[in-house]
Structure 1
Amino acid sequence: MRILIPLMLTLFSSTAALASEKTGAEDILGAGRQFMEAFAETQAGKGFDADYTLGSLDPRLALAPCPDGGIDVAFSSDPWKTTQPSLMVSCQGERPWRMYLSVALDIYGDALVAARPLSRGDRVTEAMVATDRVVVNAIRRGAITDTDNLLGLEMKRPVNAGTPFTPDLVTAPDAVARGDHVMITARNGSFAVKTRGKALANARVGEQVLVENLSSARKIRARVTGPGQVEITM
């Protein structure tokens, strides 16, 4: 017994020391909470509220030890496009490892919504827009939050009152319409000649449109550069 007891105590203390050096579930959850708290604090400074719940881990989890402050945490998917992102937790120690931790995340923020039912083709005005608190990351195509990016655009399809405006719901209106008189600019470097024409189709800025030169009656294809403005390259 005089020999066995010290040996048993040595084995027990060695096992306990090894266990204490492992990275366990609580270490990973703690790193995840610290990361999410920092994220929520950053968003609060921008006017958003972030509510989150971390997923669970097997309490028996035991990974290689990670130096103090060595656990890295980052989103593995865009938290602004899903309410179920995940965290990639990793360590670059002598025995590197990586794992994923699930998160349920709601980011609340002010977004622009339809103040009343809107129809396809409506031009968005201030009277059509209201502000509401929504879960912005539940809107996968991204909510429009700035009226400068919305007013004057055209509805692509009808929506109900309270529907958040998203980029896929609106489009830039036609800059020229069939029958409109337009100014044709023929450009060659810094040299430009202007003449009047008539649009033979509807088109938006950046699109090509067929126009008729009113002086020569010649039909040409030009690029729309603005309302009533088209350009060709000589």
Structure 2
Amino acid sequence: MSKPRLLATGLLVAALGLGAWPQSARADSATTTTQSPDSVRAAAEQAVREHYALPGSRVVVNAAPLDLRLHLDACREPLRAVVPAYATTSSRLTVPVRCPQPGGWTVRVPLQLQLFRQVLVTSRPLLRGDGLGAADVHAEERDVARLGYGYIDNLTQVAGRTLARSLAQGSVLSPGALGGRRMVRAGDRVELVARLDGIEVRAAGVAMGSGDNGARLRVRNESSGKVVDAMVSAPGTVVALP
């Protein structure tokens, strides 16, 4: 081919943009041999959503960007990401994502989790020793991944329980905030026991306060109407104090 003809051919190829075609093809080929970081992050996020997707829950999860220096071979099999069944509910967690084909790879993906559920919150300030009823708490949606002391979501869990410490209004009710069940409630009919020098006398009484085992309260003797100080010793039983 003559030199003028070669030059014309070159100009035509350049004008049509064909000169860039081989390079573009090589770039596409390179792209298809590398796993997309976004696909790895998406697999980790989906695994977390499925793990925490319980009725009444709202899951918000975001995977952190992967290291830009990380180059993974494209995986021919679907990526596998599994959250361990024993994983604690935490705002930060790491999930391994694996390419299951022979000679595949595994990447640990860090994520931030928000897990919103309905939990019980105090409706008014409560004091240590107070009993808990429907009027004392209400349900609110909170991010339980940030509730390191746990939470309570069912009123039946607090029925008959007292507080082990005071709580401000709007506090999330946690298992650690609960004391034992009240053995005696204000207004209950109780057995009043008086002991002196080995002699024991029993009488019917009405509790004027509530408390667990060892709690002190006042009791009114039903027969005499006299009010005495007593200590709770068992459900429905109090011992008169000297």
Shift of 1:116: 0.8
1:31 alignment partner, one of 43, 47, 54: 43
- After superposition, where does 1:21-60 map in structure 2 within 5 Å? 21-38=33-50, 42-43=53-54, 46-60=55-69
* Structure 2 match to 1:167: 175
Matches within 5 A, 1:79-90: 81-90=89-98
1:151 to 159, 164, 183: 159
2:65 maps to a residue whose letter is: S
Q: Secondary structure at the match of 1:66?
A: coil
Structure 1 residues 121 and 37, CA gap change in structure 2 (3 angstroms): closer
Name the counterpart of 2:142. Answer: 134
In structure 1, C-alpha distance between the alignment counterparts of 2:86 and 2:143, rounded to whole Å: 15
Name stretches of at least 5 consecutive residues in structure 1 with no aligned partner.
1-9, 182-196, 204-223, 230-234
What secondary structure is seen at the aligned counterpart in 2 of 1:23? coil
Using the TM superposition, give the Cα deviation of residue 85 of structure 1 relative to its aligned residue in structure 2, in angstroms: 1.9
Which has the greater radius of gyration? 2
Which whole-Å deviations, capped at 9, do the CAs of 1:80-116 have from their partners, x for residues lacking one?
Answer: 6311122221233212432211111111121111111
Equivalent residue of 2:124, what SS?
Answer: coil
Match of 2:197 in 1: none
Contact kept? 2:45, 2:61, Cα under 8 Å: no
After superposing the two structures, state which structure 1 stretch, 82-91 or 141-150, moved more: 82-91
Residues in 1 aligned to 2:235 and 2:29: alpha-carbon distance in whole angstroms: 75
Q: Matches of 2:130 and 2:104 in 1, distance apart? A: 57
TM-score by length of 1: 0.61
Answering whether residue 112 of structure 2 is matched by residue 104 of structure 1, we say yes
- After superposition, give the CA deviation of every residue in 1:122-156 in whole Å (9 maximum; x if it has no partner): 11122211111211221123210010111211111
The two structures have a TM-score, normalised by structure 2, of: 0.59
Q: CA RMSD in A?
A: 3.8
Letter in 2 for 1:133: E
Relative to structure 1, is the Cα distance of residues 174 and 129 closer, same or farther in structure 2, using a 3 angstrom cutoff? closer
Comparing 28-37 with 128-137, greater Cα deviation is found at 28-37
| Residues 84, 156 of structure 1: alpha-carbon distance in 2 compared, 3 angstrom cutoff | same
For residues 30-80 of structure 1, what are the alpha-carbon distances to aligned partners after superposition, in whole Å with 9 as ceiling and x for unaligned? Answer: 32243345457x34xx122222221001344223443321x2112369676
Contact preservation (8 Å) 1:64, 1:95: no
Segments of structure 2 that go 5 or more residues without pairing to the other structure are: 1-21, 185-190, 194-201, 203-211, 215-232, 238-242
Query: Which one of the candidate residues 3, 11, 20 is aligned to 2:32?
Result: 20
Out of 72, 76, 92, the residue aligned to residue 80 of structure 2 is 72
- Number of equivalent positions: 176
